[in-house]
Amino acid sequence: MDTQNEDHEAGLAVEVDSLVKRYGELIAVDGLSLTIPRGQVLGLLGPNGSGKTTTISCILQLLTYDKGSIRVFGEPMTPTSYGLKRRIGVVPQDVAVFDELTVAENVNAFCALYVRDRAERRRLVAEAIAFVGLEKFVRFKPKKLSGGLLRRLNIACGIAHGPDLIFLDEPTVAVDPQSRGAILEGIKRLNERGATVIYTSHYMEEVEQLCDRIVIMDRGRQVASGTSDELKAMIGTGERIRVEVVDPAPLGEEALEGLRRLEHVRTAAYQDGEVLIECSPGAHNLTDVMRALDAAGATCGRVTSEPPTLNDVFLEITGRALRDEAA
């Protein structure tokens, strides 16, 4: 993909300063300030009604806003910023293609919104189709494509003009594992070629895999920001240890109380043939836990250690699980 940002030029791709958007009495975005460096993949997360979609719509000038300012690549973003809009690509959650056009015709139609030169457009269209792996389907119409291939076409239409800033909204919803893998690898390659990416998803593992930084919004405000590890370090949830107990007879309340007295162990309980232990954030107590169980005479089987997840972060900060919001 040909971009104007091949060397991850220095500076900021997006600057949002004190943004306010109201719908009557409802404040959808409440004084939001946000900066996104060029060449970064930003994960933007939030429960339904958090303001993230409204924020993106304001950045794209699809909505007017009440207060604040928005700059893209150092320039003020306004409804007439046609040069800046040429540098932006949008891949919406709902597939937005023309049913009566073929794959190639669809990609060409979207590319033509920004690129007038036919020779350049032919090159960009061919490149976008190859980038998403649809070379064998150029003559197919959308109704002949699987869900995963349709999602790839949606992406090709959004990136065909070679944008430097790409908004991706739930690009892997309802796709098969093979297409999901291809889409995620494609996003990584876009970023490697210099594109700044703003990524929204309900799949936490995708966000963790792709994003350099994550911003969590709730009730129109930014409530947390950082890398995945930094966010996990902010919360009160630590490592969870599960130990299968073959013979639970020795595992009375005294043995469990001994586990609870271990440094950094917050809770210890026996349930359904397993000892469940939660540790303090940043602590790693597996060795001490196993020694204590051995000393109590417990016969142990399978052992698993689960670090805190991004969903733990989201749940603690917003009070809601992101996957539940998607349901």
Q: List, in order, residues 6 or more apart from 29 with CB less than 8 Å away.
A: 19, 20, 21, 51, 54, 55, 58, 65, 220
Q: Work out the pLDDT band at 161, boundaries 50, 70, 90.
A: very high
Closest by CA to 157, choosing from 176, 143, 171, 174, is 171
Q: What are the pLDDT digits (tens) for 20-37?
A: 999 999 999 999 999 999
Q: Work out the pLDDT band at 309, boundaries 50, 70, 90.
A: confident
Q: How far apart (Å, rounded) are the C-alpha atoms in residues 20 and 31? A: 5
For the range 281-288, what are the long-range contacts, defined as Cβ-Cβ under 8 Å and sequence gap of 24 or more? Answer: 281/232, 281/233, 281/235, 281/236, 281/237, 281/238, 281/308, 282/233, 282/238, 283/238, 283/239, 284/239, 285/239, 285/241, 286/239, 286/241, 288/262, 288/263
Q: What are the pLDDT digits (tens) for 194-239?
A: 999 999 998 999 999 999 999 999 999 999 999 999 998 888 778 8
Structure tokens at 101: 């056009």
Q: Work out the pLDDT band at 321, boundaries 50, 70, 90.
A: low
Closest by CA to 3, choosing from 155, 190, 156, 167, is 190
Q: Work out the pLDDT band at 9, boundaries 50, 70, 90.
A: very low
How many Cβ atoms from other residues are within 10 Å of residue 229's Cβ? 10
Q: List, in order, residues 6 or more apart from 2 with CB less than 8 Å away.
A: 124, 127, 162
Structure tokens at 201: 């998803």
Q: What are the pLDDT digits (tens) for 248-263?
A: 777 889 889 999 999 8
Mean pLDDT of the chain: 91
Closest by CA to 289, choosing from 321, 261, 327, 324, is 261
Please state the three-class secondary structure of the chain as a single string: CCCCCCCCCCCEEEEEEEEEEEECCEEEEEEEEEEEECCCEEEEECCCCCCHHHHHHHHCCCCCCCEEEEEECCEECCCCCHHHHCCEEEECCCCCCCCCCCHHHHHHHHHCCCCCCHHHHHHHHHHHHHHCCCHHHCCCCHHHCCHHHHHHHHHHHHHCCCCCEEEEECCCCCCCHHHHHHHHHHHHHHHHCCCEEEEECCCHHHHHHHCCEEEEEECCEEEEEECHHHHHHHCCCCCEEEEEEEECCCCCHHHHHHHHCCCCEEEEEEECCEEEEEECCCCCCHHHHHHHHHHCCCEEEEEEEECCCHHHHHHHHHCCCHHHHHC
Q: Work out the pLDDT band at 283, boundaries 50, 70, 90.
A: low
Q: Which residues pair with residue 103 across a beta bridge?
A: none
Give the CA dihedral 32, 231, 39, 73, nearest 10 degrees: 10
pLDDT at 322 (0 to 100): 58
Taking a C-beta distance cutoff of 8 angstroms, is the pair 198, 7 a contact?
A: no
Q: What are the pLDDT digits (tens) for 82-131?
A: 999 999 999 999 999 999 999 999 999 999 999 999 999 999 999 999 99
Place of tokens 């979207």: 110
